[in-house]
Amino acid sequence: MRPARQHAHEHAQSRLRERRERLAGEAARLMAESGIADYHQAKLKAALRLGIHDDASLPRNAEIEAALRQYQRLFRRDAGDELHRRREAALEAMRFLHAFEPRLVGPVLEGTADARSPVMLHLHADDADAVARFFEEHNIPAQPRSRRLRLDRHRDGEFPVWIFSADDLPFDITVLPHDGLRQAPLSPVDEKPMRRASASQLRHLVTEAQISGFEAG
């Protein structure tokens, strides 16, 4: 590549990276301040606001998630308290639901949770009705929903979801077959297996965060 062409190429790539970073930052701000939970919706709205219309400039979901973490660190000091509260509530819920081998997923695990974020758990049972019976036996007024998840690159499925509140916090419970413990469904953020945590892993994460907060303070 000739020097002039190489310089033009590098300049174009630099401008493309700058636009992606601007869009990721604006999408993160919209998610944090406006309660938008869908990454695709956030990036399209950010592109409209910034007047950027080429698809190549649209950031990946993972870029927006990283920008959201940074935004919360800089501008949402209360986000840490909300995150800690939800992780503690998740631990309590996981102890309560231990028979279904619960795993924490979503923003509470990833560290992007705010005051609107539900505690998202995956339960595992080959008899999905067992979870419904459990809620009935313990007088938990859970509302039924369903959710389509991608199991891998070639398979997806519809799974039961239960929504309820406890201690003024929203909970979002998806029931998966027991063999779902072997491999998590694909994340809508990066299409890789979802990051998830058992109760012991979450307890370790909470302890680490407390130590980091103490050292930073």
- Find the angle CA(110)-CA(114)-CA(116) to the nearest 5 degrees: 120
Domains observed in the chain: 3-75 (no CATH), 79-216 (3.30.460.10)
In the numeric block, which tokens belong to residue 186?
């694909």
Give pLDDT tens digits along the chain (217 positions).
566 676 666 667 788 888 888 888 888 888 878 778 788 888 888 888 888 888 888 888 888 888 887 887 766 665 678 899 999 999 999 999 999 999 999 999 988 888 888 999 999 999 989 999 999 999 999 999 999 999 888 889 999 999 999 989 999 999 999 998 998 999 888 888 999 999 999 999 998 877 765 555 5
Region for 139 from its dihedrals, namely left if φ exceeds 0, alpha if ψ lies in -120 to 50, beta otherwise = left
pTM equals 0.74
Instruction: Tell me the DSSP string of 68-93.
Output: HHHHHHHH-TTHHHHHHHHHHHHHHH
Q: Which amino acid is at 91?
A: L
DSSP state of 184: P
What backbone torsions phi and psi does residue 213 show, to the nearest 5 degrees?
-65, -40
- The answer to whether residues 123 and 102 touch, using CB atoms and an 8 Å cutoff, is yes
